[in-house]
Amino acid sequence: MREITIPISDETIRDLKVGEPVLLSGVMMTGRDAVHKWMNDTFIKKTRQPVGDDLEVYEAIKPILDGGVLYHCGPVVAGVETGEYKFVAAGPTTSIREEPYQADVMKHFNLKGVIGKGGMGSKTLQGCQETPAVYFHAIGGAASLIAQCVRRVIAVHKLDFGVPEAMWVIEVKDFPVVVTMDANGNSQHMVVDAQSQKVLEELLAKA
């Protein structure tokens, strides 16, 4: 089990291989559908003008994401009314919804890792090679256990998106993940898909 501290160097990322278990420690940020669309439309494709606190938030998250990790997670958070935030559940959400944006987001912010479940597609895999970055698979159904890895909530941005869709900046310790897409063009998800398709075709041929 490799222990890695965030921010992560390019050398460390290129050395990671599919199937390798990792414990992550340091500061990371959550981000789901609303966040990816906001990043893409406002600062990457620039199809909308920044409004409100957009520029302020952008400047705040840039150093966190530079060499950092973005977690596809819609957490359950206690203390929202008082500002004394505590993660109650922090399981991964399905990543493929971010496929249209992820490679561009990784490149723009120099992300070194993305955490989620279910894997991502060919565009993101290409982005992992170019940035470089990796996709970390987190354990689905272990939301409460993963929340115990969150030592503290450092900040939250765009809470007006809603608690699950906001950008939560968190400090984690020994966050358990497995590399399933690496910076060398390997994807365990594509291997599984190909194997499953082969089995399906064999079953249909016998039917």
Domain ranges across the chain: 2-206
On the question of a cis peptide bond just before residue 7, with omega within 30 degrees of 0, the verdict is yes
CATH class as words, domain 2-206: alpha beta
| pLDDT confidence of residue 188 | 83
CA 3 to chain centroid, in Å, comes to 18
Tokens of 125: 């895999």
| Contact of 90 with 117, CB cutoff 8 Å | no
Report the run of H or E that residue 114 belongs to, with start and end.
strand 113-116
Going from the first residue of the chain to its last (207 residues), give the mean pLDDT of each consecutive group of 10, the final group possibly shorter. 97 97 98 98 97 98 98 96 95 96 98 96 97 94 88 97 98 97 88 53 63
